[in-house]
Amino acid sequence: MKQLATLVLILLVGIGGQLPMAYAQSTATLRGTVADSLSGLPVAGVSVGLQGQPGGTATDALGQFRLGGLAPGMYQLRIGALGYRTHTVPVTLAAGETRSLSLTTAATTLSLAEVTVSQPRDPNQSLAAISHIDQVLRPLNSAQDLLQLVPGLFIAQHAGGGKAEQIFLRGFDCDHGTDFAVSIDGLPVNMVSHAHGQGYADFHFVIPETVEQLKVYKGPYTARFGDFATAGAGEFSTKTRLDRSLVKLELGQFDTRRALVMLDLLGAGRHLLSKRPESAYVAAEYYFTNSYFDAKQHLKRFNGLAKYTGQLTERTSLTLLGSHFASRWDASGQIPERAVEDGSISRYGSIDPSEGGNTGRTNASVVLTTALPHDAVLRQQAYYSKYDFSLFSNFTFFLRDPLNGDEIEQTDDRHLVGYTATYDRDDQIGARQLHSTLGVGTRNDFSNLGLYTAAQRRILGTTTQGKLYERNINAYLDETLNLTDRLTVNAAVRADFFTFDFRGQLASEDNGGALEPLRGRVSHARVSPKLNLYYQLTPAVQLFARSGFGFHSNDARGVIRDANANVLPRAVGSEIGSTFKPLPSLVVNAALWSLHLQDELVYVGDEGVTESTGPTQRYGVDVSLRYQLGRRLFLDGDFNYNHGRQLDAPAEANYIPLAPTFTSIGGLTYKAPKGLSGSLRYRHIDSRPANDDGSITARGYFLFDAVLSYTTPRFQIGATAENLLNVKWNQAQFATETRLRTEPAPVDELHFTPGTPFYAKLNASIFF
């Protein structure tokens, strides 16, 4: 810790340092901007360097770059980005000269030979190449498929398609997001102190066709992510513009239908707020399905999005975004194995078919990005979300109430207000580049939370209800310095301050269920340092060693109810690995990682509390490979081994329930810009213990899916098929003690939500 603090201090002293006058006069500086050749909008993250020389830089949020400390002479400037054509520009520099260039780059078809293994401006995004390839190749059927673009991430649905998915990553059963942070366009997706679980991340408000970019960060190594970013974080961005407008229709089994419209509002040469490059579009989606369960699910979902991106001046850009989401559904819930085995219900039946719910979210966001003197950029974002949630569930059937059953309703009526600002600056220290980021932010959640007992969606009583106020104020400093032509160090420190405030009531078991006050206010802080090293062994091989502290927050009701509760359990992670290209068309990312969690939190939904299972230790190996077999044929695979144990539990009962040991996903894809394209894919997760002692097993599965499409400049038709071999598999699985109406005593066994049987869907799109 002391060494890390010393390094950060050294880097701080270097910010704004001036070069010796003689040195500045003998060297040259090259600066410029890179824009998209079609829209004219700036392109961020473009790699910029000199041909045949190590090092380099990347464009900032306004598409600007700077290369300083250059010797006079003739150079070939190389620019390239994922999804854009790589090309070179001849440049001649004189001593003391500052040369400015305005460059454009054009989108192109995917070629793994042009993929680079390093990210000069964001070195912690070592999975950037892998993520971009996946976005181009991997088919998307729904918003939940977006999460599975994260290498090694698996999901499971267990409430009829309307609830957030259960997330598995790096040996974590993250529940609905407790240990994986998700954001879209800077909007946080995870909900703190949510009615149904800490970190609840419902991603269904995102239209998959609008997503343009995904940045993946595994582990707690990146300073701009705070709460929930222990196993990792996924940062999604929607398109800044549409290449073309479209109308899309989908029809599938189980009464499934979907309609999508995406409209470009400006087109070429038209303007809205300025005479500079601008874009604006709207998108709307309607989805309905009865799903494959015996009881029809009646899932209805609507999504709407409007987005504007434009340059107000040469030094300022503005992004405006608004979206609305509404969903309603019925659900069959988890079912016990014994009820299926004795014929009481089928695999697709239910014990309590009155489960289900509704949810909605409305978002507004404004982002102002401004270029400042001294090669600095200030990005400011203000956002607001109105969120509604109501869910009826029955986890234990008739265990507690033999007459009415154990159904509950969880409600969340929330307002979320936030602000973030980042100050990015590039400095020259001798011949070395220093990139500094100072970030500040605040998030404020105001919510009415409720937990009620119910029968057939009729409220019977109150378990807990009240008003939540939870605030997070944070700041971080992130420094990236090129120590040598090959070695880059990234050192950072983040500080978070939380306030938990809950004013409500809780049913007392000692007082016959009478409501008693539950009120309190707790504040807590957490400091999280990070240190990451990157070594460019060759242009095709980058080695990395990363370490960092992170945390996930506890539920406000649990913190106030229990004075001894762990408020912000710390996570300590480290890993070593490499991103490399053993062949020009083969990209590999491999990492050996370890993560210690101070306190594993498990949400108990029917009681509205989080339970502590104590400290845990995990380690594992992640391997991702992407191989271009031919101009249009691609092979991909992710292989993830994880080992985890509870540290304070006895050896015979120290499993981490539902934590995967081995997962893999991959496939073979034929991808053409027009004409026929197709993909055959597989998914595998192994069997693993469902409880502490391993006496109950959650069953693994191996599935095949397929996608086929035919594309022309004017239209596209396609078909998808899930579970090609019609395998009977369990999606969500839990070890739960339950009692059926006819049983004299409870039974502790595996409960599951059945996975999708063979499911086919057709789609047709028109472009204009």
Q: Average the pLDDT over 172-179 and give the result.
A: 90
| Residue 84 sits in the same domain as residue 135 | no
Place of tokens 């502590």: 612
CA 45 to chain centre: 19
Tokens, residue 632: 């249009």
- pTM value? 0.91
pLDDT value at position 84? 79
| Residue 44 sits in the same domain as residue 163 | no
Longest dimension (CA), the chain: 90
Q: Single out the residue of 145, 89, 153, 10 nearest to residue 685, CA to CA.
A: 153
Q: State the Cα–Cα distance between residues 451 and 567, nearest whole angstrom.
A: 22
Q: State the Cα–Cα distance between residues 428 and 420, nearest whole angstrom.
A: 27
| pLDDT tens digit sequence for 18-36 | 444 444 567 888 888 998 8
Q: State the Cα–Cα distance between residues 310 and 323, nearest whole angstrom.
A: 18
Other C-beta atoms lying within 10 Å of the C-beta of residue 291: 23
Average per-residue pLDDT for the chain: 91
Angle of CA points 195, 197, 202, to nearest 5°: 90
Residue 156 lies in a domain: yes
| Residue 164 sits in the same domain as residue 274 | yes
Q: State the Cα–Cα distance between residues 705 and 724, nearest whole angstrom.
A: 6
| pLDDT tens digit sequence for 328-357 | 999 988 999 999 999 999 999 999 999 999
| Residue 69 sits in the same domain as residue 166 | no
pLDDT value at position 42? 85
Q: State the Cα–Cα distance between residues 259 and 659, nearest whole angstrom.
A: 37
Q: State the Cα–Cα distance between residues 495 and 475, nearest whole angstrom.
A: 5
Q: How sure is the predictor about 9, in pLDDT bands with cuts at 50, 70 and 90?
A: very low
Q: Average the pLDDT over 91-112 and give the result.
A: 85
- Residue 269, C-beta contacts closer than 8 angstroms, at least 6 positions apart: none
Alpha-helix runs per DSSP H in 319-443: 337-341
| pLDDT tens digit sequence for 186-203 | 999 999 999 998 999 999
pLDDT value at position 713? 93
Residue 16 lies in a domain: no
Residue 509 pLDDT exceeds 80: no
Residue 16 pLDDT exceeds 50: no
| Residue 34 sits in the same domain as residue 135 | no
Top pLDDT among 374 and 387 is at 387
Among 59-73, 347-361, 529-543, name the one with the lowest average pLDDT: 59-73
| Residue 715 sits in the same domain as residue 756 | yes
Q: How sure is the predictor about 119, in pLDDT bands with cuts at 50, 70 and 90?
A: confident
Residue 169 lies in a domain: yes
Residue 120 lies in a domain: no
Which residue, of 55, 74, 108, is where some domain finishes? Answer: 108
| Residue 93 sits in the same domain as residue 237 | no
Residue 534 lies in a domain: yes
| Residue 259 sits in the same domain as residue 333 | yes
Top pLDDT among 45 and 219 is at 219
Residue 695 pLDDT exceeds 90: yes
pLDDT value at position 20? 47
Residue 143 pLDDT exceeds 50: yes
Q: Average the pLDDT over 713-718 and give the result.
A: 96
pLDDT value at position 15? 41
Residue 551: what residue type?
F
Q: How sure is the predictor about 609, in pLDDT bands with cuts at 50, 70 and 90?
A: low
Among 145-149, 303-307, 528-532, 741-745, name the one with the lowest average pLDDT: 145-149
Residue 460 pLDDT exceeds 80: yes
Report how many domains make up the chain. 2
CATH of the domain at 39: 2.60.40.1120
Which residue, of 79, 108, 137, is where some domain finishes? Answer: 108
Instruction: Give the Å distances, CA to CA, from 503 to 388, 469, 521, 555, 566.
Output: 19, 9, 9, 14, 20
Residue 430 pLDDT exceeds 50: yes
pLDDT value at position 14? 41
Q: How sure is the predictor about 516, in pLDDT bands with cuts at 50, 70 and 90?
A: very high
pLDDT value at position 68? 81
Q: Average the pLDDT over 229-243 and give the result.
A: 95
| Residue 739 sits in the same domain as residue 647 | yes
Q: State the Cα–Cα distance between residues 244 and 737, nearest whole angstrom.
A: 53
Percentage with pLDDT > 70 across the chain: 95
Other C-beta atoms lying within 10 Å of the C-beta of residue 674: 10
Q: Average the pLDDT over 541-557 and give the result.
A: 96
| Residue 103 sits in the same domain as residue 160 | no
DSSP summary character for residue 120: S
Q: How sure is the predictor about 652, in pLDDT bands with cuts at 50, 70 and 90?
A: very high
Q: Which residues pair with 610 in a beta bridge?
A: 603
Residue 11 pLDDT exceeds 60: no
CATH of the domain at 251: 2.40.170.20
Tokens, residue 287: 């989805």
Which residue, of 80, 108, 136, is where some domain finishes? Answer: 108
Residue 2 pLDDT exceeds 60: no
Residue 88 lies in a domain: yes
Given a contact cutoff of 8 angstroms between Cβ atoms, the answer to whether 276 and 254 are in contact is no
Instruction: Give the Å distances, CA to CA, from 238 to 186, 308, 364, 528.
Output: 10, 11, 14, 29
Residue 107 pLDDT exceeds 80: no
| Residue 89 sits in the same domain as residue 152 | no
The size of the chain, in residues, is 768
Q: How sure is the predictor about 608, in pLDDT bands with cuts at 50, 70 and 90?
A: low
Q: State the Cα–Cα distance between residues 135 and 533, nearest whole angstrom.
A: 27
| Residue 198 sits in the same domain as residue 228 | yes
Secondary structure element (H or E) that encloses residue 9, with its range: helix 2-14
Domain that holds residue 97: 23-108
Place of tokens 């999606």: 731
Q: How sure is the predictor about 468, in pLDDT bands with cuts at 50, 70 and 90?
A: very high
Q: Average the pLDDT over 102-111 and give the result.
A: 82
Residue 93 lies in a domain: yes
pLDDT value at position 23? 45
Would you call 253 exposed, middle or buried from its count of C-beta atoms within 10 A (0-12, 13-18, 19+)? middle
Top pLDDT among 95 and 288 is at 288
Secondary structure element (H or E) that encloses residue 426, with its range: strand 408-429
Phi-psi region of 228 (alpha: psi -120 to 50; beta: other; left: phi over 0): left
Q: How sure is the predictor about 448, in pLDDT bands with cuts at 50, 70 and 90?
A: very high
Q: Single out the residue of 656, 652, 737, 649 nearest to residue 693, CA to CA.
A: 652
Q: State the Cα–Cα distance between residues 266 and 41, nearest whole angstrom.
A: 14
Residue 420 lies in a domain: yes
Given a contact cutoff of 8 angstroms between Cβ atoms, the answer to whether 684 and 655 are in contact is no
Q: Average the pLDDT over 573-580 and give the result.
A: 97
- Residue 707, C-beta contacts closer than 8 angstroms, at least 6 positions apart: 139, 678, 679, 681, 718, 719, 720, 721
Residue 82 pLDDT exceeds 80: no
Tokens, residue 679: 């993909």
